[in-house]
Amino acid sequence: MSRFLNENLKGLKEYTPGEQPQDKKYIKLNTNESPYPPSKEVVEAVNENEVKDLRLYCDPECSKLKSALAKLYNVKTENVFLSNGSDDILNFSFLAFGQNGVAFADITYGFYSVFADLYSLEKEIIPLNDDFTLNKQAFMNKNKLTVIANPNAPTGITLSLNEIEKIVESNKQNVVLIDEAYVDFGGESAISLTEKYDNLLCVGTFSKSRSMAGARLGFAIANKEIIADLEKIKYSTNPYNINRLTQVAGLAAVKSNNYFMENCKKIIKTREYTAKTLKELNFEVLDSKSNFLFAKHKSLGGKEFYLSLKEKGVLVRHFETERIKDFVRITIGSFEEMQVFLDKTKEILGE
């Protein structure tokens, strides 16, 4: 830390991303990436001509991509916001809508707390129930920005559309942000409710179900006034925040949406197989509707399991947080990768 850093930032505890080791090749089951590459349409779209055009600024409105997404989700372009990853949209949302404070679960995406701290927002941290489900009553009538990951991370547990609607309905005085990073793996999107509720903000990403974590593309769908607020912040920080190649890749990805949704089906199938096998090996496995499992062994500690796997070339994610320190979060890779993970797990357990 330099002696020049602003006072209000000195205590800020930044987000810790999952490891992205560059030293050796791991089976990477730690940051919820897709095991499948983007569609061939995406690969072809990012061609020589597009690279040559990098000398030009990109379209700050992302018009083509925005229209395609609007069509895909059956909304108007005025209801769509695009940004450099959904983390960017969360950042903007906390800045734009957080003045009365922000409510979120104790066990959820770690970035919510960081953004709240970055803007010195008051945090109301609502404990999940003992079984790691969301305490729905506690998310009603908040009068402050209310943020829910659905499905939740790192638990994978989901709320139904009906449950989301009740929460949105009771929070007319504030924005309810539903982070749908994992919704394509078996959750129910709340996008259809954005027409009815002007306080609902749905946030999505191309990083997980659409195999484009490295491209950095996130989107939000909401009432046009909320979208205009987010645009105001984007145009006050970095109007060109989605680069040319990502816009082109994103458009191709929307056009080949079926390919990605087929991949999700494969991942769901692999998830169910992996969960069943882990349970047979004496793991408690939470009911996941995402592309990861959150699991805890009857006797092996979370950190020990994580370290043993790492030694054997398999990376999973472990969190030091007290309530979940016995768990590890395992991204669902290809069937073959999960077979290796399960074999290594059996070795570690001495089976």
Ligand X SMILES: *Cc1c(COP(=O)(O)O)cnc(C)c1O
114 alpha carbon, distance to own chain's centre = 15
Residue 86 lies near ligand X (rule: CB under 6 A): yes
Residue 146 lies near ligand X (rule: CB under 6 A): no
Q: Which is nearer to ligand X, 297 or 333 (CB)?
A: 333
Q: Is 246 exposed, middle or buried (0-12, 13-18, 19+ CB in 10 A)?
A: buried
Q: Beta partners for 123?
A: 102
Residue 250 lies near ligand X (rule: CB under 6 A): no
Strand 292-297 relative to strand 327-331, pairing: antiparallel
Measured from the CB of residue 164, what is the shortest distance to ligand X in angstroms? 15
224 alpha carbon, distance to own chain's centre = 23
Residue 150 lies near ligand X (rule: CB under 6 A): no
Distance, in Å, from the CA atom of 168 to the CA atom of 192, rounded to the nearest integer, reads 13
Distance, in Å, from the CA atom of 349 to the CA atom of 35, rounded to the nearest integer, reads 26
Site map (CB under 6 A) of ligand X, residues 164-203, x = contact: ---------------x-x----------------------
* Residue selected from 30, 113, 207, 274 as contacting ligand X according to rule CB under 6 A: 207
* Residue selected from 38, 82, 87, 144 as contacting ligand X according to rule CB under 6 A: 87
Q: Which is nearer to ligand X, 150 or 345 (CB)?
A: 150
- Nearest residue to 108 via CA among 152, 144, 159: 152
Decide if 18 contacts 200 (C-beta within 8 A).
Answer: no
Measured from the CB of residue 219, what is the shortest distance to ligand X in angstroms? 9
* Residue selected from 30, 68, 75, 85 as contacting ligand X according to rule CB under 6 A: 85
Q: Beta partners for 218?
A: 83, 205
Residue 331 lies near ligand X (rule: CB under 6 A): no
Cα Rg, the chain, nearest whole Å: 20
Residue 156 lies near ligand X (rule: CB under 6 A): no
* Residue selected from 149, 167, 176, 315 as contacting ligand X according to rule CB under 6 A: 149
Measured from the CB of residue 311, what is the shortest distance to ligand X in angstroms? 26
Q: Beta partners for 120?
A: none
Strand 200-205 relative to strand 283-285, pairing: unpaired
Q: How many CA atoms lie within 13 A of 45 on its CB side?
A: 19
Residue 153 lies near ligand X (rule: CB under 6 A): yes
Q: Which is nearer to ligand X, 45 or 178 (CB)?
A: 178
* Residue selected from 30, 205, 263, 345 as contacting ligand X according to rule CB under 6 A: 205
Q: Interface with ligand X by CB under 6 A: which residues?
A: 32, 85-87, 109, 149, 153, 179, 181, 205, 207, 213, 218
